Copies of this chain bind each other. A is one copy, B any other.
Amino acid sequence: MKNFILDLPTRIYFGKGQIENLSDAIKPYGNKVLVVTGRSSAKKYGVFDDVVEQLERNKIKWVEYSGISPNPRLREVLEGIEIAKEENILLILAVGGGSVIDAAKAMAFGRYASGDIWDYFLHYKAIEKALPVGAVLTLSATGSEMNGGAVITNEEKKQKYPYISDKLKPRFSILDPTYTFSVPKNQTAFGIADIFSHVVEQYFSPTTDWWIPDRISEGILKTVIHWAPIAYNKLENYSARANIMWASTMALNGIIATGKITDWATHGMEHELSAYYDIPHGEGLAILQPYWMEYVLSRETEERFDIYGRNVWDIKGLTLEETARKSIEETRNFFNSLGLPSKLSEVGIFDEYIGEMADNLGKREGTIGRFKKLGSEDIEKIYRMAL
């Protein structure tokens, strides 16, 4: 295991009606808020109204910036930064899912950044200062509500890159499962695939002899496997939405990565894919993850798959190799059971850019993945397996 430093500064307000705490959560940071939201759902389903009611009732000054896209765009971030500067904003409140929160984080550090913002993403330039960010979550998926990551798409350059800093961790997040009742079936499934994949990226690791994060990871996966079909089939089931919501937060707040080398190859491949094709992130992950598993499974790695099969999928009485294979089959079946595709061709992606995407990744990163290192050729093979 590796040494680690763990910082979890985000205060979590979890449960129905927790919006009542919004003004208490905001007040330590000052009385001028930029409310960032997406295209329509927060407004359509009343979450935005709930936020505004709390702000007005508690006399908190606020400005709105709405229209953030899924896969949020650099130009949207730049617009938000201008507003934050002009209006002397003191806190950015994201009302939405991971895209909105990510955009809010990028605005938060962009407010004080010098030069071209995209350089921070390209070169991991260190940030000095950022506005505080708070979140009211409406979609369980990315975990952005309790971590320092922001993924932004530069449309012009066909680049989708993450930026991560402790300074971007939200100061608070309001997690009300009823705010996800209106998320439709397909979006619910995309979110679940994202959560599942986040855990897998951290679980498959060369780090051994370090149990707590792995056993917690298995617990999150078992929770998702149990509650996903219920949430998917009964969109307003509170217990299911609550379990999935807390799974999404716990999957990517740093706890299951403590002390571990983590992989993230599938996310790297998916980011490239959705920079080119703008498909939902969760859909891309559901397609790619099982092929990644098949590609990296070998004599060297099969023990980890065996543990995964036994502890997560409850596979008993098979050989180590059979358990490993069966665990991959179960993973793909799970995604399929939520209506998610198994092939890129099912979502209209054929081999046009496969070589280019694999080349980009290889050139930029050298290799991706730390459970198993993958170069351009490996990446291209995995993309092609998924066609």
Contact = CB atoms under 8 A, between A and B. Distances in A.
Contacts of A9: 8-9
Interface stretch (A148-156, A240-248, A277-285): A240-248
A315 interface: no
Interface in A202-245: 209-212, 214-216, 218-220, 222-223, 226-227, 239, 242-243
Number of copies: 2
Contacts of A5: 11-14, 21
Contact of A8 (B4, B8, B14, B214): B8
Interface in A343-366: none
A154 to B, nearest CB: 33
Contacts of A247: 212
Contact of A2 (B15, B209, B216): B15
A259 B209 contact: no
B222 A210 contact: no
A367 interface: no
A365 to B, nearest CB: 27
Contact of A210 (B8, B11, B242): B242
A89 B214 CA distance: 41
Interface string A1-42: 111111111011111111001000000000000000000000
A258 interface: yes
Contacts of A212: 219-220, 223, 243, 246-247, 250
Interface centre among A13, A222, A247 (most CB of B within 10 A): A222
A255 B253 CA distance: 12
Contacts of A1: 15, 239, 242
A222 B21 CA distance: 37
A172 to B, nearest CB: 9
A258 to B, nearest CB: 7
Given A2-B15, A215-B223, 18 more contacts: A1-B239, A3-B16, A4-B14, A5-B11, A5-B13, A5-B21, A7-B12, A9-B9, A210-B239, A211-B222, A212-B220, A212-B243, A212-B246, A215-B216, A215-B218, A216-B216, A216-B219, A218-B219
